[in-house]
């Protein structure tokens, strides 16, 4: 059974400038403008993030979507999708989608907790998959999180029709 557990149809735009300050100066995090869907952490089943994203030309050095482990885990994330020069990447490595600038694209990220796998789909096509480190719980984030290299002066990501699904 596939059930929508959270959905928003309105557009959400987030941006960060290289001169922006970090939200928490006690940690080593970079500036961000993200949405965490509190109350929708998960620890079992198959969970899916779906949303339509638009990254303006020139935005680079930015993470636009993540799966986080529980608070205090040794690794903070099991998945981060970064944009560098118009290429959507798994962290700053493997290419997921080569040309995402100036177009809306549908992003689906499917996390099978029991199998410890994540699959990434762009516009309905499977683009990437990997095994992930198990954790006690997980949660999704989307928006803009500045990375440590190759940042543009302004990083922006626009989201709409974000929906979370679960299959227990």
Residue 20 has pLDDT above 50, yes or no: no
**pLDDT at residue number 80:** 86
**pLDDT at residue number 22:** 46
Main-chain phi, psi angles of 166, to 5 degrees = -135, 145
Residue 114 has pLDDT above 70, yes or no: yes
**pLDDT at residue number 132:** 93
**What digits encode the pLDDT tens for the residues 45-103?**
999 999 999 988 887 778 889 897 877 666 788 998 988 889 999 988 999 999 999 89
Task: Name the more confident of 5 and 68.
Answer: 68
Contacts of 117 (CB under 8 A, 6+ apart): 111, 129, 130, 131, 132
**pLDDT at residue number 151:** 56
Where is mean pLDDT largest: 11-20, 24-33, 123-132? Answer: 123-132
**Please, what's the largest Cα pairwise distance for the chain?**
46
**What digits encode the pLDDT tens for the residues 121-156?**
999 999 999 999 899 999 898 887 655 555 545 567
**pLDDT at residue number 29:** 56
**39: region left, alpha or beta (phi > 0 left; psi from -120 to 50 alpha):** left
**pLDDT at residue number 30:** 53
Q: For the full predicted model, state whether its pTM sits above 0.85.
A: no
**pLDDT at residue number 31:** 47
């Amino acid at each position: 059974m596939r059930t929508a557990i959270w959905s928003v149809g309105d557009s959400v735009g987030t941006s960060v400038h290289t001169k922006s300050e970090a939200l928490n100066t006690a940690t080593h995090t970079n500036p961000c403008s993200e949405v965490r869907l509190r109350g929708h952490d998960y620890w079992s089943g198959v969970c899916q993030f779906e949303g339509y994203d638009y990254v303006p030309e020139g935005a680079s050095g930015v993470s636009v979507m993540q799966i986080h482990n529980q608070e205090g885990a040794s690794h903070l994330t099991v998945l981060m999708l970064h944009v560098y020069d118009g290429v959507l990447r798994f962290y700053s490595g493997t290419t997921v989608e080569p040309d995402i600038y100036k177009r809306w694209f549908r992003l689906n990220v499917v996390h099978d907790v029991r199998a410890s796998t994540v699959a990434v789909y762009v516009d309905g096509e499977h683009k990437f998959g990997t095994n992930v480190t198990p954790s006690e719980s997980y949660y999704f984030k989307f928006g803009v999180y500045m990375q440590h290299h190759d940042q543009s002066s302004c990083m922006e990501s626009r989201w709409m029709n974000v929906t979370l699904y679960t299959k227990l």
